[in-house]
Amino acid sequence: MGNLLKVLTREIENYPHFFLDFENAQPTEEEREVWNQVDLVLQDSESILMGLREYKGASQEIRDAIQNPNDFKHQERAWNSVCPLVIKLKNFYTFSIRLEEVLQGLLSELTYSLNTAPLASTALERKQALAKQFAEILHFTLLFDELKIRNPAIQNDFSYYRRTISRNRINNMNLEIENEVNNEMANRMSLFYAEPMPMMKTLSKATTNFVMENKSLPLEKTTDCLSTMANVCRIMLETPEYSSRFSSEDTLLFCMRVMVGVIILYDHVHPNGVFIKSSTIDVRRVADCSWNTDSLMRDFCFVIPPQIKSSLKVLKDQPADKVEGLLNALRYTTKHLNDESTPKNILMLLQ
């Protein structure tokens, strides 16, 4: 069944490549059109991250303006500092919309292809380059949110902007920036930045909408795709024979972000979520069986949810400073973590 089945069954061999080649996968002609559309958006992802890393905020200027309400120079300095930052925040927000749009196309390609493949593994393996782009979106999303959650100046700046706009509108002042960020845009941006992890929230909503809008596509096609990616990433991470093939530590962290990202998306679209003990099948036991592997995977691959406990243990084995953002993503952006059905040992792992 190819590389993915070898990973899933943990048949460690001297195989030249392995499933979900996050470093070298190239698009086939069949993938090219969608790949180009996604690539056009991903080309801007690094500049978005750089802009967020360099975001210093206007906390001091705002503080001075609040403490000196009758000093025009302080008011002007704060306003002139905040306005370009708000434009930058708008760019971040509009990028999330672009990301949401291309994600729909990617999900369509990766899930509808399951109709012509016996296994999710086969379908994903046929579209390695698109799977890699899906992974790149998740990597960007979680990295963006890690940076955002550590920067309280973002919400502070935007709150000051909205208060100032409202106050000056009452005074009938003409504010040119409203041509860029009008009241409607400000409302949408406010909802976006109010989320602890806004990009992941955007992707979760987009994936849920995809499922709802494509009722002709069985739900399990989407959940199969997500769970397969999560399980493969986990096994690649916890198996030295695979993780040692990564060219750098960055790929290791990339793989962890992808695993967490698809777990979160699975939790949003599956009716019971990812934390419920809905299956006793552990993919790690498959290789120990004497049954025919191809037949076993064909019969049971679709009902294997992401192995959440094993995935958490993989994260816990990493240095805390590298994975705290990922654990926060699971704490704050999953849908079913606080359900009564969530096992206590899972809650303890995430404390």
| Interval 80-104: pLDDT, tens | 999 999 999 999 999 999 999 999 9
Same domain, 313 and 283: yes
Decide if pLDDT at 300 tops 80.
Answer: no
Same domain, 223 and 193: no
Same domain, 120 and 50: yes
Inside any domain, residue 210: no
> What's the pLDDT at 197?
94
Same domain, 168 and 229: no
Decide if pLDDT at 255 tops 50.
Answer: yes
Q: Is 181 exposed, middle or buried (0-12, 13-18, 19+ CB in 10 A)?
A: buried
Decide if pLDDT at 118 tops 80.
Answer: no
Same domain, 245 and 307: yes
Q: Pick the last residue of a domain from 130, 164, 197.
A: 197
- Three-state SS at 55: coil
Same domain, 146 and 28: yes
Inside any domain, residue 168: yes
Helix (H) or strand (E) holding 311: helix 308-316
> What's the pLDDT at 307?
80
- The three-point CA angle 288-292-295 to 5° equals 120
Please count the structural domains in the chain.
2
Torsion of CA 135, 228, 261, 350, to 10 degrees: -150
Same domain, 83 and 171: yes
Same domain, 143 and 270: no
Inside any domain, residue 14: no
Inside any domain, residue 38: yes
Same domain, 164 and 233: no
Average pLDDT of the residues in 153-170: 85
Inside any domain, residue 93: yes
Same domain, 91 and 163: yes
Inside any domain, residue 13: no
Answer for the pair 256, 263: CB distance below 8 angstroms, yes or no. no
Alpha helices in 68-197 (DSSP H): 72-112, 120-126, 128-149, 153-170, 183-194
Inside any domain, residue 232: yes
> What's the pLDDT at 258?
95
Inside any domain, residue 97: yes
Structural domain containing residue 105: 22-197
